[in-house]
Amino acid sequence: MINSFSQYLVEEERVVYFTFGRMNPPTTGHGKLLDVLSKKAGRNPYRIYLSQTADKKKNPLSYSDKVKHTRKMFSKHGRSIMINKTVKTAIDAMTALYNEGFRKVVFVVGSDRVREFDVLLNKYNGKKSRHGFYNFKSIDIISAGARDPDAEGVEGMSASKQRDNASKNDFTSFAQGLPRGMSNNDSRRLFNDVRTGMGLKEQSDFKRHIQLDSVSETREKFVSGNLFELGESVIVKKTDEVGTITVLGSNYVIVETADRKTRQWLDAVEKIEEEYSPQKHEEGTPAAAAYAKKMTPGEQTEEGKGLWHNIHKKRKEGRPMRKPGSKGAPTKQDFKDASEATDYMSQAKDIISKDRADIAKDKQADKIKHDRILDRARRSRMLKKNRGINT
């Protein structure tokens, strides 16, 4: 009721800006709409009304949950997000605003719905019906400068995409549609409220997986466990040594050979899928040459260079080895014998090396001893000469 002329003037000039939307669930797209609403309103008051429809398919959040989450997501607009259970449509919002005393109204909406609401809201202006009554001096419908984030399909990919992410239990993608300032706990709570509203089980294990670009096919196989296994026999390409994998690192393996352990990159070793062997005997022997011919039938073994030379040469040329179990292919016993032969050769080399070191040490000791004897003899002769003794 207007009690004075001054109050009448105030009532005549009062203008309010508002928007109405489902925001089910609220997203960054809705945040942009609210920012535009606030900017357009300037110093004038603005109101944000949310729909109260709830269903499992398109409106999983209840009215109270929706208001709660929207106020947390867009805290700077929190005071303008209204709780009014009588406002269920945009027309109900118009009636509520008129009853507050506003006589000019501006409705901010997605660009694709401007014409629709311009016709609808002006149609009932000054007409009393079941929604109540409002009679605004002016009704303006302006665009937020973007498509409606509540629309379905491609037009409303923000809200519909979020519901799809929740139904697929994809929290990582869901979180990307939320404001950066929203806490992780609030994000999880919103995610679970949407899932609960869709009749789905709440999620308790949240992992934000980041998909990195593939480094290489070899690396991907290794990470997935399809490249090497612990205890598997491999060949070190650079030295042609046969070893066993004892450690699987992040992008490397530890290979134990006959006399040492080395760290090798993934592409520096090769699986022994073809089961070929360095032979039981020392390289360069007739037995080794015969065995090499068995491994590479129809090919000549280069004289004196041994089995490993021929195998290495064949691999460099890109020619395949014999398949496991095929005729002429070495067996597991052959691998064992080859390892024993390698151990024997390694031990023999160590013994020879030690013997040579001992001999050199003895020679050095003898030289020192001989030099000392000569020094004593020279000193003795010098003393006698100084004393006048004729030698």
pLDDT in the model for residue 134: 95
| pTM greater than 0.75 (yes/no) | no
What is the band of 204 on the pLDDT scale with cuts at 50, 70, 90?
A: confident
Residue 45 has pLDDT above 80, yes or no: yes
> Residue by residue, what is the 3-state secondary structure of 50-90?
ECCCCECCCECCCHHHHHHHHHHHCHHHHHHECCCCCCCCH
pLDDT in the model for residue 281: 42
Can you tell me the distance from the alpha carbon of 227 to that of 303, in angstroms, rounded to the nearest whole number? 36
Instruction: Give residue-wise pLDDT tens across range 127-156.
Output: 988 888 999 999 999 998 755 555 554 344
Whether 22 and 59 have beta carbons less than 8 Å apart is answered as: yes
Query: What structural domains does the chain harbor?
Result: 5-197 (3.40.50.620), 220-333 (2.30.30.140)
> Which whole number is the average pLDDT over 109-126?
92
Per-residue DSSP letters for 271-331? E--S-----SS-TTSHHHHHHHHHHSTTSPPPTTTHHHHHHHHHHHTT---PPTTSTT---
Identify which has the larger pLDDT, 37 or 369: 37
Identify which has the larger pLDDT, 64 or 158: 64
Instruction: Give residue-wise pLDDT tens across range 9-28.
Output: 455 578 999 999 999 999 98
What's the token pair of residue 57? Answer: 């398919």
Can you tell me the distance from the alpha carbon of 275 to that of 277, in angstroms, rounded to the nearest whole number? 7
Residue 287 has pLDDT above 50, yes or no: no
What is the band of 47 on the pLDDT scale with cuts at 50, 70, 90?
A: very high
Which residue, chain included where needed, has tokens 């269920």? Answer: 88
What is the band of 231 on the pLDDT scale with cuts at 50, 70, 90?
A: confident
pLDDT in the model for residue 328: 56
pLDDT averaged over every residue in the chain: 79
Residue 249 has pLDDT above 80, yes or no: yes
